[in-house]
Amino acid sequence: MMKSSTVHPKKGIVHFAVVLTLALIIQLPALAGAEELRVMTRNLYLGAEIQSLAAAGSYEEFLDGVEDALMQIAANNFSERAEALAAEIVEKKPHLVGLQEVYDFKLNGGNYPCPPFCDYLGELLLQIEAQGASYRPVATVKNFDITIPFFDGMIVSVLDRDVILVRDDVETADVDVSGFCPDRVSDDKNGCNYQLVASAEIPPPDESSDPLTIDFTRSFVAIDAWIDDYPVRVVNTHLEVRYPDPDNPFSPFIQAAQAQELTIFLQLFPNEEGGPTLLLGDINSSPADEPIRTQLPFGTIVPPYMQLVNAGYFDAWPLRPGKPKGFTCCFGEDLSEKADLYERIDIIFSSEKPNRVRANVVGNSPSDRTDSGLWPSDHAGLAGRLRFP
């Protein structure tokens, strides 16, 4: 069942002020605690690294790079990986799942042959259903979106999305964020493209054509949900990598600016139902990241993880029992080799400190690999169970 929920920054600020005033003179009844909030964040992985395409010296070199990427994506068979990814969701039974790199590849307008031309969302949902669970997408935002004239008149289309899935027994309501980003809002008004994004310019196919500009758009998307009548807002995001341009020491400014925009949204658009806001995602920033001190105009570049902690958000992983490192990044491009994960960039944050946290890294055990030996993604995922007062 869907409820209607519209968020306005000014209205939210006034509402917060009224509630704060009432709290000073009367004792408000506490929210009924949820039995347990179960969430997961999972980067599905495109299937190839495409940052190198930005370094193409000619249009022909760019097309050769696209062909190589498509071959790698086909080898990293998403139909096969979707079965393993679905198994993680079915086992952990999260109420909500934040997905990143939910690609839709089309050849001449269709998803065939798959792989590589697959709709990752459709494939994953089919596998979840085949394994006996039922989830639905409730919030989607479009990111990277490009159409490339390919060889022999073929047209290749590539669309990246961030998606929130919800278990079918969970009630949800749309969150209208159009007041925050009116010119960059998603089709359903529940997500925003970040204002500052990395981009690349590809040489034109001939002298009479303009260069091809590729914007590596990143976004966030939100939904309200009720777990055992307990209200929770879930926000899902995928921030830019730390160094989108390895030759530019100032390029971490892009992900820092995206994180600043995200923290402003989180502060201006709190959960109007009174429950916590959970932030899920691949933030491409770890607790080990240090600020980068530069000269003006950038000043000190504060990494996303530090910004979110400074904004009052609680990282769920350190609140769990035990001291595992929780690393989620990264396996090799071809997903076939054993790798030592080395950083924790897939995170569950909460606006309120939970009473109890149980969390596990998923997709990092040899038993999680597909029948052909592929890891489910180049990232491991994170599943968490949070209990609030």
Give the distance between the most distant pair of CA atoms in the chain: 74
2-14+33-387 belongs to CATH 3.40.50.2300: no
More confident position, 224 or 322: 224
Position 13 scores a pLDDT of 36
Question: Do residues 125 and 168 touch, judged by C-beta distance below 8 A?
Answer: no
For residue 128, give the nearest of 168, 75, 158 by alpha carbon: 168
Show the DSSP H helices in the chain as ranges.
9-25, 59-75, 78-92, 120-130, 252-268, 304-310
Give dist(CA 127, CA 118) in Å, integer.
13
Question: Do residues 325 and 360 touch, judged by C-beta distance below 8 A?
Answer: no
More confident position, 287 or 211: 287
Q: Which two tokens stand for residue 96?
A: 């909500």
| Domain boundary assignment for the chain | 2-14+33-387
Banded pLDDT at 7 (limits 50, 70, 90): very low
Average pLDDT, the chain: 90
Q: What is the pLDDT of residues 77-125, one digit of tens each?
A: 999 999 999 999 999 999 999 999 999 999 999 898 899 999 999 999 9
User: Average of pLDDT values for 52-77?
Assistant: 90
Position 21 scores a pLDDT of 33
Q: Please check the confidence at residue 353 and state whether its pLDDT lies above 90.
A: yes
What one-character DSSP code corresponds to residue 119? B
Considering 48-52, 216-220, 323-327, the range whose residues carry the highest mean pLDDT is: 216-220
Give dist(CA 168, CA 95) in Å, integer.
8
Q: Please check the confidence at residue 315 and state whether its pLDDT lies above 90.
A: yes
Least trusted range by pLDDT, from 65-69, 303-307, 374-378: 65-69
Give dist(CA 304, CA 71) in Å, integer.
33
Kindly state the percentage of the chain with pLDDT values over 90.
Answer: 75
Banded pLDDT at 46 (limits 50, 70, 90): very high
Position 53 scores a pLDDT of 82
DSSP string, 166-224: EETT-EEEE-B-TTT-TTSB-TTSSEEE-SS-EEEEEPPSSTTSPPEEEEE--EEEEEE
HSE-up of residue 281 (Cα within 13 Å, Cβ side)? 28
Q: What phi-psi label fits residue 274: left (phi over 0), alpha (psi between -120 and 50 degrees) or beta? A: left
- Look-up of token digits 């035990």: 322
Position 33 scores a pLDDT of 56
Length of the chain: 389
* Cβ partners under 8 Å of residue 262, min gap 6: 194, 220, 235, 237, 239, 279, 304, 308
Least trusted range by pLDDT, from 136-140, 200-204, 330-334: 200-204
Least trusted range by pLDDT, from 149-158, 337-346, 372-381: 149-158
Supply the pTM of this predicted model: 0.90
